[in-house]
C-alpha cells in the first residue's frame, strides 16, 4: 500500500479498505512497519516493532471487529500484552515480560486491531513529557526540538507521524489529553470505570487513572470506546452503558448546549497567549454553532487540591517501585531510578494511611464542588496545556536537588487544566482545534458531565466538521519525502 494512502486514513478508514478487500491486513502491517523504519530513528517514539506477533495474529484469523486488520501500538505502561516486554521507562523494570494479556488488551485484539509496536513512556508515567533516561526523548513530529507531551508521548508521536492510526494510552493527570494536544490528535479520557483495568489493577491511582487511546479522528475514538468499554470481572465499579453506540453520537446534532469556558487556571499559572486565543476562538465557534457560551469555571482550593494529588501520586510511585523491585530483584536507588522518581518514591514511603485517606477525602470535596458547577453546564472548555509544547529538557526527571513536591508543582504548572477531571472522574477530550503562529498544534480540552461521553462525542463531532484537521501533517511524517 502506498504510504501516502495509508497515512491519510484513520483507523476506521483502513478497516473499511480491509472489509472491501481493497487491501489485506498483511499489507497494512507491512506498511506500518515500513513507516516505523522510515521515521522512528528521528522520532524515537517506538521501542519495539513486533512483526512476528502481527503476522501470527493475522495468520490465526482476526476477529471481525470494527478495526479488523488495523495496525496498533501499545504504551509500555500498565497495559500488558502476553510475551511483550514492558519496561515502563525505567531501569528498575527493564526486561519485564508479562505472561498474560490484561483485559483491555484482549478487547483491543477482539476489536480486530493488530499489535505491531510498543511506545515510550517516561519513568512510571510521572511526567507530562516523554524523555526517560533509559531510551532518550521522544521528539515532537511537528517540531523535533520540542516535547511530544506525556506520559503517552510515544503513542501520540507515533500516530501523528503516520506509523499507526490508533495507539493505546493512559491518563492519571492528563496523559492521554496532553500528548494529544501537543501532537494534533484526538485524546479522550473516558469516565472513571468506563474501561477495564483488570486483572492487575483496579481504581489505579485511587481512581485517578484510566486506560484508552489516542486517535486521528473523533469517530475512531467513539468506535474504539464502543469496542472496549464495560467493566471486567471483579471490577469494583460499573457504569451504565450508553443509550446507543458512541459511534452514532458523532454525527448526531448536539442541540443547543450551555457551555462554560475559561483560560484562567485555579492555580494562577501563566498561560501562553496563543493557548488563550485558542480557547477564545473555540468559544466563538461554539456560539456561532448556536450554543450558549459563558465564561465561567469551577472554584476550588488549588493548593489543597495539589497537595492531595501529590500524596496519591507519590504513594503510587512508592508502591509501584516496591512491587517492581520485588519482581525484578533490583534495588531502588540512583542506579535504577531517575533522580526525581527516587525522591517521589522516598516521600511516598513516608506517607501514612491517614495521609492517603485525607487526600482521597479532599478529592471527594473537589468532585462535589465540580458537580455543582456542572449542574449548570453541559460542557466546559479550557486549554489542554498551559503552554505550547515544551522545549526538550524543560521537565527533566534527572534534575538534581528537586524535591518531590517541587516536581509535582512544576508538572501541574505546565498542565493545570487536565488533572481536575482525573479527580472528579469526568470524561474530557482534547481536540486539535488551533495552531500557533509557528504551526504547532494547540489542543483544546472539553470536559463533560460524569458518565456523559455521548454529549462530548456529539459536540466533538460537530467541531471536527466545522474546523477539520485531517489534512494537517507534521514535519516528521512517514509519507513526507526524506
DSSP β-ladder status, 71-75 and 166-171 = parallel
Question: What length is written for the chain?
Answer: 482
For every residue of 229-252, DSSP letters joined together read -SPPTT-S--PPPPSS-HHHHTTS
Q: Establish whether 175 is a catalytic residue.
A: yes
Enter the C-alpha cell of residue 235. 471490577
Dihedral angle of Cα 419, 420, 423, 427, to the nearest 10 degrees: -90
Rounded distance, CA 233 to CA 26, Å? 33
CB contact at 8 A, 201 and 238:
no
Enter the C-alpha cell of residue 238. 460499573
Sign (positive or negative) of CA dihedral 402, 406, 408, 412? negative
3-state secondary structure of 28: helix
CB contact at 8 A, 482 and 467:
no
Rounded distance, CA 144 to CA 148, Å? 9
Q: Is the peptide bond before 479 cis (omega within 30 degrees of 0)?
A: no
- Of 90, 121, 151, 367, which is the active-site residue? 151
Picking from 458, 373, 459, 448, the residue whose alpha carbon sits closest to that of residue 192 is 448
3-state secondary structure of 201: coil
Rounded distance, CA 207 to CA 192, Å? 7
Side by side, which strands form the sheet with 166-171?
Answer: 46-49, 114-119, 71-75, 166-171, 210-215, 186-189, 428-435, 441-448, 379-383, 258-261, 292-295
CB contact at 8 A, 114 and 83:
no
H or E element that contains 457:
helix 453-466
- Of 152, 155, 175, 430, which is the active-site residue? 175
Residues annotated as catalytic (active site), given as ranges: 75, 151, 175
Amino acid at each position: 500500500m502506498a504510504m501516502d494512502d495509508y497515512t491519510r486514513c484513520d483507523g476506521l478508514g483502513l478497516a473499511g479498505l480491509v472489509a472491501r478487500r481493497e487491501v489485506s491486513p498483511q499489507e497494512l502491517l507491512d506498511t506500518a512497519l515500513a513507516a516505523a523504519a522510515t521515521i522512528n530513528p528521528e522520532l524515537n517514539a517506538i521501542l519495539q516493532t513486533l512483526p512476528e506477533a502481527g503476522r501470527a495474529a493475522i495468520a490465526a484469523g482476526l476477529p471481525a471487529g470494527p478495526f479488523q486488520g488495523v495496525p496498533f501500538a501499545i504504551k509500555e505502561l500498565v497495559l500488558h500484552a502476553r510475551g511483550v516486554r514492558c519496561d515502563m521507562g525505567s531501569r528498575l523494570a527493564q526486561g519485564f515480560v508479562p505472561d498474560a494479556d490484561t483485559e483491555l488488551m484482549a478487547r483491543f485484539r477482539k476489536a480486530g486491531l493488530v499489535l505491531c509496536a510498543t511506545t515510550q513512556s517516561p519513568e512510571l508515567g510521572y511526567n507530562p513529557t516523554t524523555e526517560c533516561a533509559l531510551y532518550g526523548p521522544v521528539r515532537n513530529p511537528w517540531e523535533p526540538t520540542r516535547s511530544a507531551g506525556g506520559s503517552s508521548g510515544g503513542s501520540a508521536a507515533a500516530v501523528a507521524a503516520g506509523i499507526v492510526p490508533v495507539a493505546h494510552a493512559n491518563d492519571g493527570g492528563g496523559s492521554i489529553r496532553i500528548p494529544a494536544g501537543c501532537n494534533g490528535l484526538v485524546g479522550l479520557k473516558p469516565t472513571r470505570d468506563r474501561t477495564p483495568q483488570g486483572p492487575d489493577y483496579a481504581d489505579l491511582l485511587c481512581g485517578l487513572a484510566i486506560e484508552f487511546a489516542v486517535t486521528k479522528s473523533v469517530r475512531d475514538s467513539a468506535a474504539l470506546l464502543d469496542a472496549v468499554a464495560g467493566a471486567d470481572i471483579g471490577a469494583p465499579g460499573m457504569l451504565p452503558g450508553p443509550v446507543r453506540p458512541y459511534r452514532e453520537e458523532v454525527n448526531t446534532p448536539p442541540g443547543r448546549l450551555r457551555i462554560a469556558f475559561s483560560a484562567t487556571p485555579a492555580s494562577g499559572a501563566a498561560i501562553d497567549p496563543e493557548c488563550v486565543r485558542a480557547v477564545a476562538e473555540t468559544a466563538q465557534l461554539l456560539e456561532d454553532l448556536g450554543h450558549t457560551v459563558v465564561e465561567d469555571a469551577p472554584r476550588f482550593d488549588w493548593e489543597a487540591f495539589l497537595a492531595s494529588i501529590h500524596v496519591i501520586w507519590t504513594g503510587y510511585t512508592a508502591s509501584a517501585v516496591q512491587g517492581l523491585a520485588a519482581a525484578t530483584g533490583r534495588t531502588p536507588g540512583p542506579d535504577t531510578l531517575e533522580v526525581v522518581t527516587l525522591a517521589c518514591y522516598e516521600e511516598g514511603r513516608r506517607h501514612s494511611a491517614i495521609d492517603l485517606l485525607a487526600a482521597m477525602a479532599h478529592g471527594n470535596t473537589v468532585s462535589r464542588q465540580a458537580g455543582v458547577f456542572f449542574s449548570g453546564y453541559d460542557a466546559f472548555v479550557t486549554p489542554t496545556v498551559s503552554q505550547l509544547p515544551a522545549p526538550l529538557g524543560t521537565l527533566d526527571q534527572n534534575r538534581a536537588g528537586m524535591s518531590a513536591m517541587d516536581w509535582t508543582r512544576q508538572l501541574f504548572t505546565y498542565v493545570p487544566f487536565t488533572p481536575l477531571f482525573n479527580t472528579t472522574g469526568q470524561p474530557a477530550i482534547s481536540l486539535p482545534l488551533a495552531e500557533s503562529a509557528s504551526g504547532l498544534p494547540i489542543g483544546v480540552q472539553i470536559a463533560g458531565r460524569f458518565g456523559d461521553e455521548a454529549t462530548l462525542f456529539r459536540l466533538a463531532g460537530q467541531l471536527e466538521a466545522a474546523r477539520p484537521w485531517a489534512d494537517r501533517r507534521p514535519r516528521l511524517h512517514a509519507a513526507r519525502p526524506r
